[in-house]
Chains A and B, each alone.
Chain A
Amino acid sequence: MSWKNIRLILVKELVGTIRDRRTIMAMVIIPLIFYPLLFTGIGYFNKLGSTKSEEAISNIVIHGGEFAPQLVKYLHDNEKIEILNIKDDPSFKLKKGDVQAVLEIPSDFKYKIDQGAAVKLILKYDATEAKSRIAQKRVNQIMEKYKSEIILQRLSQLGLKEEFIIPIILEEENIATAEKITGSFLAILLPYLIIILIFVGAMHTAVDITAGEKERGTIATLLVSQISRLEIVLGKCFVVMLISFTSMVLGLLGLTLAFLSGASIAGGIEGAKFGISINTIFLIFLVLLPLVGLASAVLVMVGIFARNIREASSYITPIYMLTIFLGIISISQGIELTDKMFLVPVLNSSFVFKELLMGKIYWEHIITTFSANMIIAGFALLKATRLFSKEEVLFRS
């Protein structure tokens, strides 16, 4: 095996790939521009929508307001609440969105309060509408304030202090640093997106330089040269790895910048800080590199087996779907991790990536993930080389 020959194939494929606009699209434009724009855009419009809802006046209708004038006054005094006088059926208006909440006060309100009993009020709202949820929150806050006043009155009538009903005060302190909060925020989606980018980045090139070469009839010219089959496969695999790796790095860069710059816009983290150390970044690459190798080797293997680009694409679709499926599993919160899970490609990288972003370094997970993915990548590469030596695969028609 000669590295010089592998390099010749690698350089040739790399030049051909870079000159292909579709690769630039998959490798640079999507991870570096499209993804960040998408996420900052989603965050921006979300924030814009919720700000508008927060600022909007809540129109509410009160039934039986005359039975609780004090409560109505509290609601009336809130500048974000407008009490409407509607004679028609307010439920219809609520459904239509003209009214955001309807409060029903029973006629025995005052009597029950005076008797020291509990009164049941009904608040109708539409949980699927942001404005209606905000109206419910506003009414609730006022109701809590009003309830506290009644409790205080009742306690003083009994000669008791407020502490009587609050025997324990729990003060919570969040010790998570801004870096950790940022890490946990990134850990939710970043691994999944990066894994998808690794596959998307590798897919087009892998198919183009294997099945594409068969389709264009250029493969025979390589087979009669001085370069061995192993050297050809390795050269092709390395170039796919390089493209996939670049796509991943650009994706990491683009998405991290998008998350951080758009963090406050997205309403996720205030004062986000990127506190991941150089060592952690090194470990992230250490975990992702075998996955890049695995994705490249599997895709090259499939591309070599396929008759043409179309057939290769149809074989790759289920592999891509499986990757997305494993990625989605890894996003799901509350999954109980077992050691065996770190033997499953994609899933393992995603979990370790997540752990690293959260600042947790479990060496046994890192080593298992690295080894499992390297071994499977090695097998795929071996299989690709074998396929490349089979004349029935090379000359299938």
Chain B
Amino acid sequence: MIRVEGLTKVFSDKKRGKVVAVNNLKFDCQKGQIFGLLGPNGAGKTTTLRILATMMVPTQGKAEVNGFDVVKEASKVRRHIGFLSSETGLYDRFTPRETVEFFGRINGIEDKIIEKRMAEIFHNLDMEDFQDVRVNKLSTGMKQKLSIARSIIHNPSVLILDEPTVGLDIITARSVVEYIKKFKEEGKCIIYSTHIMREAEKLCDVIAIIYQGNIVAKGTLEELRKNSLSDDLEEIFFRLINQGEKRK
């Protein structure tokens, strides 16, 4: 599970001075749950997920993954997480089999276990036909399947997914969403960032609307609807953002 308490990240920028990317975030995500971070570009979603994935250190606050601190026990945290983002690329000169093998090995998995898990994953994701084709010859959909396979080869209990459907065509995006649902059914704890309302509605058990580094609302879809007196998530989203702008 993931627990975040008072998480703040401040960047120093030559032109803009101190920039608060993430401000005092507090949330948690349980096993078998999908926690959605819904917000526009630049809201602080990627920074939050990078901190959870141990790639960045928070300026203040605390974050834990399966009870391990993301700063003090970064290596232990990495053992439990699978990270996938729209920005994470693949090695063009490798085949899916070589890619997944490599990521299994660098996550400390034995070759025998890698072979077994790889066969399962390739079967489940329908990747068997192109497992030995170099990545630069694969379609976008095939590449995204490989990205998923790469991020779950070490069977992580926590998945950190940063806008995994951005740039994908509608069919591939739909199949990615289906896989994420399957991972939830397997009991994985999933944190999912997106700016697509429809995806958040379909996938997330709990949604946090994030704007300019702050969580402006949090709850299940039902709770958000109830509190905002609207059924439409898009409408809720814009109302909350407008309220945030007025408060400023």
Query: A interface vs B, CB < 8 Å?
Result: 5, 8-9, 12, 15-16, 19-20, 216-218, 220-228, 391-392, 394-395
* Cα A5 to Cα B79 with chains together (Å): 15
Per-position 1/0 for B86-120, Cβ under 8 A of A = 01111111100010001101111000000000000
Taking a contact as CB atoms closer than 8 A, the residue among B57, B102, B107 that contacts A226 in the complex is: B107
B89 touches A19 (CB 8 A): no
Q: How far is the CB of A393 from chain B (nearest CB, A)?
A: 12
* Cα A5 to Cα B83 with chains together (Å): 20
Contacts of B11 in A (CB 8 A): 392
Nearest 5 interchain pairs by C-beta: A217-B89, A216-B89, A19-B93, A225-B106, A224-B83
B102 touches A12 (CB 8 A): yes
Q: How far is the CB of B82 from chain A (nearest CB, A)?
A: 8
Q: Does B150 contact A (CB under 8 A)?
A: yes
Contacts of A9 in B (CB 8 A): 106
Contacts of A12 in B (CB 8 A): 91, 94, 102
Q: How far is the CB of B87 from chain A (nearest CB, A)?
A: 5
Taking a contact as CB atoms closer than 8 A, the residue among B53, B56, B88 that contacts A218 in the complex is: B88
* Cα A68 to Cα B107 with chains together (Å): 96
Interface size on B, residues (CB 8 A): 30
Query: B interface vs A, CB < 8 Å?
Result: 11, 50, 53-57, 75, 78-79, 81, 83, 85, 87-94, 98, 102-103, 105-108, 150-151
A394 touches B93 (CB 8 A): no
Decide if the interface of chain A is mainly helix, strand, loop or mixed. Answer: helix
Q: How far is the CB of B208 from chain A (nearest CB, A)?
A: 22
A221 touches B103 (CB 8 A): yes
From known contacts A5-B106, A12-B102, infer whether A224 and B55 are also in contact, taking CB-CB under 8 Å.
yes
B87 touches A224 (CB 8 A): no
From known contacts A8-B106, A225-B78, A226-B75, infer whether A16 and B55 are also in contact, taking CB-CB under 8 Å.
no
* Cα A335 to Cα B115 with chains together (Å): 62
A220 touches B106 (CB 8 A): no
Contacts of A15 in B (CB 8 A): 93-94, 98
* Cα A53 to Cα B103 with chains together (Å): 66
* Cα A15 to Cα B93 with chains together (Å): 8
* Cα A26 to Cα B33 with chains together (Å): 51
Contacts of A392 in B (CB 8 A): 11
Tell me the nearest residue of chain A to B56, going by C-beta.
A391
Contacts of A223 in B (CB 8 A): 53-55
B108 touches A226 (CB 8 A): yes
A16 touches B91 (CB 8 A): yes
* Cα A20 to Cα B78 with chains together (Å): 31
Q: How far is the CB of B54 from chain A (nearest CB, A)?
A: 7
Q: How far is the CB of A392 from chain B (nearest CB, A)?
A: 8
B93 touches A8 (CB 8 A): no
Contacts of B92 in A (CB 8 A): 216
From known contacts A221-B150, A391-B57, infer whether A226 and B78 are also in contact, taking CB-CB under 8 Å.
yes
Q: How far is the CB of A199 from chain B (nearest CB, A)?
A: 24
